[in-house]
Structures are given as structure tokens and as C-alpha cells.
Amino acid sequence: MRQHVNPLSRFFQLPLQLPSPGELFDHPEQPIHLDIGCARGRCILGLAELNPGWNHLGVEIRRPLVTAADRDALNSGSGNVRVLFCNANISLESWLAALPDDRLQRVSVQFPDPWFKRRHRKRRVLQPDLLLAIAAALQPGRELFLQSDVLAVIEPMVALTELSGCFTRPESDARPWRADNPLPVPTEREQYVLEKNLPVYRVLYRRNRSPLPDPEALESRWQELDNPAETVFTDV
């Protein structure tokens, strides 16, 4: 059973100044893969071992998981992987904005906490402002990968991403869901789901050349889509 926290609680609203790539990695000039909601970091740690020419950063809101994961990252001695504690919607935007051009080359959001009810929409990890910060940091052709085992979780992420107009799916990918994981290392949740022979819903996007939309307009359109007006029946 997954344990998740309420990101809107006061404790998680404190902005944190995240370390720069120069403080995190031995070779900060390398491209960065950012994994948002990395849990124990098994995926990001495995990717770092397989891809020493990349830097890998996991962020996670559950501090006990971060403590163990970042200890493993530091003990690996590779110098290309770290795991940080933060609320992605509070602390990541300024970090992304400060990155050098094209330093960030891949972002993944894998099996986020299942806040799928409409009244919990503000607790979802992929919010309009964070998506736009990701889009601003990614150059055309760079990747955003989303996956979940819960349709009601991934569908709002897909809807928001496509509403932004900033991302395009590869033409060769199956619709509505990609058949396989483009990352060579699965998360712990993915392994668990696949062992149970349950479906995983995946979408790969690439940043296109469209400009960022107006943030307020995107928020308004997403609310309209996520909260459609209820039909009212009256007697005649």
C-alpha cells in the first residue's frame, strides 16, 4: 500500500532553495534527467549507473525515502546522481529557471501519488505552473515521460500537457498509450504492477517549438476540462 502525503499541508509549503548542478554533480556540464516523485530512487540510481554521461536528479516529498535514497546516491561514488527532498510545485520552478540552456534534457513523472478525485486536483504533482516551468527549461526535441497504473491519475496529466500545446507525441508511438517504457530501469511501483499482470499507462512527449501559453489561460482551460459543467434537468 502506497503511503502519500498532502502537499498542501503547511509543512510542505515552505520554499526550499535547491542546490545548483555545480553543487550536486561532479560534472555539472552533463545533461540532466529530472525524475519528479522518485520514491526510494531505485530507478534514478539504476539509470545513473547505466548512463554515466548523464546527471540524474530525483526529487521526492516523503523525507524518509529521500534520506535513504540520497545516502545510496552518495555512497555510489558515481558523482552523477542525487535525491533531494522538496515539494516539486513549491521549489522546482526557480531551480529550473536558473539552469543553463539545454542542461535539462529529460523529465519523468512516474506513478505519482493517486490524487485523482476532482476535489483533490491541487494536490496532483503536475500542476500548470510546474508544467510550464518544465516546458521553458526543455529545448525542442527534449523529453517528458509520464506513466501511472491508474487511469484517473494519468488522464489529467495528459490533458494538461496537451492543453499547453508545448509537447508532441512521437508519431510512431501507439495510441492512446505507449506500449513500453523508454527508460531501461523500472521503478519499484512499475515492477510491482507488472508482476501482478496489471496495466501500465505510458505517454512520451517531446518539447516542440510552440511558445508557452499564458499561465492564467492554461489554468482556466484545465479547470474547465477537469470540472465539466453538470447538466441541470428542469421540469417542463
> Of the residues 35, 72, 102, 113, which is catalytic?
113
Cα–Cα distances in Å, from 170 out to 27, 140, 167? 31, 13, 10
Tell me how far apart the alpha carbons of residues 228 and 74 are, in angstroms, rounded to a whole number. Answer: 47
C-alpha cell at 11: 509543512
Is residue 113 among the annotated active site residues?
Answer: yes
Q: Find residue 58's DSSP bridge partners.
A: 35, 83
Strand ordering across the sheet containing 201-207: 81-85, 55-60, 32-36, 104-110, 143-148, 201-207, 167-168
Please, are residues 79 and 4 in contact by the beta-carbon 8 Å criterion?
no
CB neighbour list of residue 87: distance below 8 Å, 6 or more residues apart: 7, 12, 13, 16, 61
Residues carrying an active site annotation? 113
